[in-house]
Amino acid sequence: MIKLIATDMDGTLLNAAHEVSEENIKAIQYAQSLGITVVIATGRAFYEAQDPIAPTGLKVPYICLNGAEVRDESFDIISTSSLNHELYQRIRQELDQNDIYYQVYTNMGIYTEDPNRDLAIYIDIAERSGQKADVEKIKNHIQHRLDIGSLKVVENYDHIEDIPGELIMKVLAFDTDLEKIDRVKARLSEKSNLEVSSSSRGNIEITHADAKKGTAVASIAEQLGITLDETMAIGDNLNDKSMLDRVGYSVAMENAIPEIKESARYVTDTNENSGVAKAIYKALESQNK
C-alpha cells in the first residue's frame, strides 16, 4: 500500500510553461485526502520551487537542491547538507580550468556572473528536452528573479563564502559541449564527498554526497514510520535516479531519459499530459481493488 509519494518538478510535475496542471493538482489532493503524504523533490532551491506551487494551494514538504535542503509543510527547515570551503573550491577549480560556466546556489539565493549566459542556457535546456523555448517568458522569469532578489549578479564568486550566514548548497554548471560536460562530470564524480548528477543533458548538478533525493525520501519515510516499499517516486532525469532506485513503486515519465525509463518499474504519460496524475490514479486504483 502506498503511503508516501515523492515527485520531481521540472519535466515531471510541471509542464513546459512551468505550471502544475489542474489534473495534477486534483490527483495530489486526492492522494492527500486518503492520508498519503506527497512530497516535492526537486533540484530547485526552495525560493524557486515555491513559485509554481504557491498558486495551487497545495501544502507539501519540499526536498530541495536534490536533497541539500528539506522543509516541512510549514516551510521550516528540517535538514541541510552544504558544501564546505574545500569542496566548493575543488568544484570551482575543475569548472574554471575547463571554462565551464556555472551558478552558485546558497541558502539565501542564486549567484550568477552573467544573466545573459543564463538566458542562453535555459533556452538550450528547453530545446534539449524537446520543448520549444519561449524566449520572452524565460527573459521575464530571469528578470522576476532579479527583481525579488533570489537571483543575484556578482562580478565573480570569490567572496560568497564571506557573506555572514551564507551556505553553499549546490553548484549548477552548463555547457553546450556535451563531450566536455561528460568528461568533467566523470572527473568530479571521482572526488569523495561529492554527489554529481544532472537534470538536463547539458548540465551538471554538484552537491555534498549526503544531498541525494533518495536519501531525503528515505529520511522522510523513516520519520513517518513508512517503509520504502510503501513509497512511490516519479521522475524524468538522472537526479531522480537515487529515489527511483530505492522505492517500491518507481515511475518514469514518458519524456524521461532512456536510463530512467529502463530502471523504473512503470512508465506514465508525459509532463505535458499530466503524467503525474495518471501515475497516482493508476497506483491508488490498483491498491484499492
pLDDT tens per residue across span 265-281: 999 999 999 999 999 99
Cell of 283: 497506483
Determine how β-strand 249-252 pairs with β-strand 231-235: parallel
pLDDT of residue 129: 62
Handedness of CA 268, 16, 200, 59 (dihedral sign): negative
pLDDT confidence tier of residue 122, bands split at 50, 70 and 90 = confident
Distance between CA atoms of residues 142 and 150, nearest Å: 10
Find the helix or strand (DSSP H, E) in which 44 lies: none
pLDDT band at 135 (very low <50, low <70, confident <90, very high): confident
Q: Which three cell numbers stand for residue 35?
A: 492520508
Weakest-pLDDT range from 55-69, 127-141, 264-278: 127-141
Residue with the larger pLDDT of the pair 47 and 23:
23
**pLDDT by residue (tens digit) across 165-207?**
999 999 999 998 999 999 999 999 998 899 999 988 889 999 9
Distance CA(266)–CA(119), nearest Å, equals: 34
State the pLDDT at residue 130: 62
Q: What is the mean pLDDT of the chain?
A: 93
* The predicted structure's pLDDT at residue 288: 66
| Mean pLDDT across 248-254 | 97
For 152, residues 6+ apart whose C-beta sits below 8 A from its C-beta are 109, 110, 111, 112
Tell me whether residue 166 is exposed, middle or buried, using C-beta atoms within 10 angstroms of its C-beta: 0 to 12, 13 to 18, 19 or more.
middle
Q: What is the pLDDT of residue 289?
A: 59
Compute how many other C-beta atoms are within 10 angstroms of the C-beta atom of residue 135.
Answer: 12
The grid cell for 3 is: 503511503
Q: Is the pLDDT of residue 153 over 70?
A: yes
- With a cut of 80, say whether residue 78 has pLDDT above it: yes
Residue reference for cell 537534470:
199
Averaged pLDDT for residues 10-39: 95
Write the DSSP symbol of residue 17: T
What are the grid coordinates assigned to 208, written together? 555534498
